[in-house]
Amino acid sequence: MITNVDSERTVVGTFLVNPQSIFAVADLSEDDFTDPECKFLFSLISKTVSEDKIPDIAVISPMLVGHTFDGKPALEVANDLVMWAVDTERFVSCLRSLKEFSGRREMVQIANEMNMIASQTIMPILPFNEDVTARLNSISAAMRQGKVTSFSVGEIVRDQIERLKSGTRPNLIDTGLLDLNRTIGGWARGSLVIMAGRPSMGKSACSLSMLRQAAKKGVTSLFLSMEMPHDAVSARLLSDAVYNSQTPIHYDDILQHKIKSWEVERLDALQDGIATLPMRIDDHSALSISEITVRARRYQDELEKTGQTLDVICVDHLGYARASDRYKGQTVRELGEITKGLKDLAKRLDCAVILLCQLNRELEKREDKRPQLSDLRASGEIEEDADAVVFVYRPAYYLERSKYEKVDEEQKRLDDLDYYANVVELIFAKNRNGPVFNKQFFLDIYSNAIRDMAA
C-alpha cells in the first residue's frame, strides 16, 4: 500500500500535544490515514472538536478506555504517539506528505476504475469521466490546502500595518467602472459575487461591458456564457466597444446584419483592439462545477505562461449550471452545491467569481419592484455563500409597461420614464467587505453599454 506511517504518527502526535494545530488544518479526514491506530485516534480528535472541546490528551484519554491495538491498550498507544510531536515547520512538512500519499492512493483507485469502465463497452463513459474530473480536482485542492492556514493575531496585524506603511495598494480587481471602484475599491480576490435581477434587467449587459472595460486596464477574465452563443456575445462586445450616444450600433442589428457599410467599417476598426483583450469566452451550456474548474485552470495555466494571473470568472448564469447527482431533485441543495463550489474555486484560484442569477417572480407582485435578498431563489444558500450580492434594476423596464388613467399620474410616469430611460441601479444588498449601497449608472441596454454617470 502507498503510505507514510511516520507522517501519520507525527501529525496525530502533534495534535495531541498541540491541539490548537488541528484548527489550522483544512480538509483532513479519516480516509487520509492508513495506520489503524492513527485513524482511530484522529476520529476521536475530530469528534472532540465537533463537540467544541479542545482535543488534548487529557480529554481524549477517557475515550480510550477498553480499546486495544494488538493487545496494547489504546492509552499507551496515544502516549507513545505524543513522542512523535514536532514543531510547526516539521508538522507542515509531514501534513503535506500525508495528503500527498492519500492523493496517490486515490489516484490508484481512480486508475483501476477507469480500466474497468474502459473495458466494459456497454457502460457510458461521460458520467464516469465527470466523476473522475471532480475527484482529481479534489486531490489537487487537497494538495493546495494541506497546510497550516491560521496565523497569530500578531502576525496578521503586523502584516497589515507593514502594507499600510509601505503604501502598498490593496490587491483588488478593477470593476471596469470608476465610480464603483471609488466605492468598493474593486472586486476582492477569493470572493463570490452574486449579480442578480429579473429577466431583461441587464445582468449580462452589465457584467460583459464591465469585464470588457476592465480588460482594457489589464484585468484578465473568463466569461462562461452558458445562456448565449458566442456570436451573440461577440455582437454585444462590438456594440459596447463602438458605443457613443450620437451613433450607437445596437447588437441585435449586428446579429441580423442590419447595419450600413460605414458602420461595418467602424466595427472593423475596433477588431484588433478587442482581439488583444485578455478575455476568454466559453459558450458551452450546462457546465458542472468540475467542468468550470477545468476550464478556469486551463486558462489560468495559459495566462501564467505569460506572467499573468486569472482575475475574474463570470458565470452566466446559475440556472444553466449543472449540479452533480449528489442532491438530485433537491433544488435548494443543488443550488447550494453550485454556489459553494464557485466560492471554493474563487479561493483556490485567488480570483473573483461573478455569478449571474435570476430572481424569483415574487417581486412582480409588489408595488415596489426593487429587489431584496429574499427574492433570490433558495435565498438562504446563495446569500450565505456570497461575499457580495448586487441587484441589477432598471426602473424604465417597469415604467414602460405601466399606464395610468389619471392625467397627472400618467404625466408623472412619462417624466420618470424620460429620466430613467438609460439608468441602471446597482444595489449592493450584501457586501462583506464594505457598505451596502445603491448607485446609479448609465446603461444603453440595446448597445450592451454600461458607463459611469459622469461619462
pLDDT at 148: 47
pLDDT at 156: 67
pLDDT at 99: 85
Is the model's pLDDT at 147 over the cut of 50?
A: no
- Tell the CATH topology of 5-145: DNAb Helicase; Chain A (1.10.860)
Is the model's pLDDT at 17 over the cut of 60?
A: yes
Domain 172-451 -> CATH class: alpha beta
Angle at 328 (CA atoms; ends 322, 331), nearest 5 degrees: 75
Name the residue ranges covered by the structural domains of the chain: 5-145, 172-451
Where helices occur in 276-323 by DSSP H, the ranges are 289-304
- In this structure, of 33-37, 339-343, 373-377, the range with the lowest mean pLDDT score is 373-377
pLDDT at 166: 77
Task: Give the confidence band of 143 by pLDDT, cuts at 50, 70, 90.
Answer: low
Task: Give the confidence band of 54 by pLDDT, cuts at 50, 70, 90.
Answer: confident
- Tens digit of each residue's pLDDT (9 = 90 or more) over 278-291: 999 999 888 888 88
Q: How far apart are CA 384 and CA 339, in angstroms?
A: 9
Which contiguous run of DSSP H or E holds residue 425? strand 423-431
Pairing of strands 221-225, 279-282: parallel
Is the model's pLDDT at 131 over the cut of 90?
A: no
From first CA to last CA, the distance across the chain in angstroms is 65
Angle at 91 (CA atoms; ends 85, 92), nearest 5 degrees: 170
Q: Return the half-sphere exposure (C-beta side, CA atoms, 13 A cut-off) of residue 379.
A: 13
Highest-scoring range by mean pLDDT, 29-38, 85-94, 164-173, 322-331: 29-38
Q: Which sign does the torsion angle of CA 51, 55, 59, 60 carry? A: positive
Is the model's pLDDT at 455 over the cut of 60?
A: no
Q: How far apart are CA 406 and CA 387, in angstroms?
A: 44
pLDDT, mean of residues 307-324: 90
Q: How far apart are CA 174 and CA 176, in angstroms?
A: 6
pLDDT over 70 percentage in the chain: 92
pLDDT, mean of residues 408-436: 90
pLDDT at 150: 53
Which residues in 208-345 belong to E strands, given as ranges?
A: 221-225, 279-282, 312-316
Q: Which of 173, 181, 236 is nearest to 203 (CA)?
A: 236
Task: Give the confidence band of 449 by pLDDT, cuts at 50, 70, 90.
Answer: very high
Q: Return the half-sphere exposure (C-beta side, CA atoms, 13 A cut-off) of residue 421.
A: 4
- Tens digit of each residue's pLDDT (9 = 90 or more) over 87-129: 877 888 888 888 889 889 888 988 888 888 888 877 777 777 7
Q: How does the average pLDDT of the chain come out, rounded?
A: 86
Q: Which of 344, 372, 342 is nearest to 356 (CA)?
A: 342
Q: Which of 426, 167, 186 is nearest to 311 (CA)?
A: 186
pLDDT at 184: 93
pLDDT, mean of residues 272-299: 89
pLDDT at 65: 87
- Tens digit of each residue's pLDDT (9 = 90 or more) over 240-261: 999 998 999 999 999 999 999 9
Cell of 137: 480536482
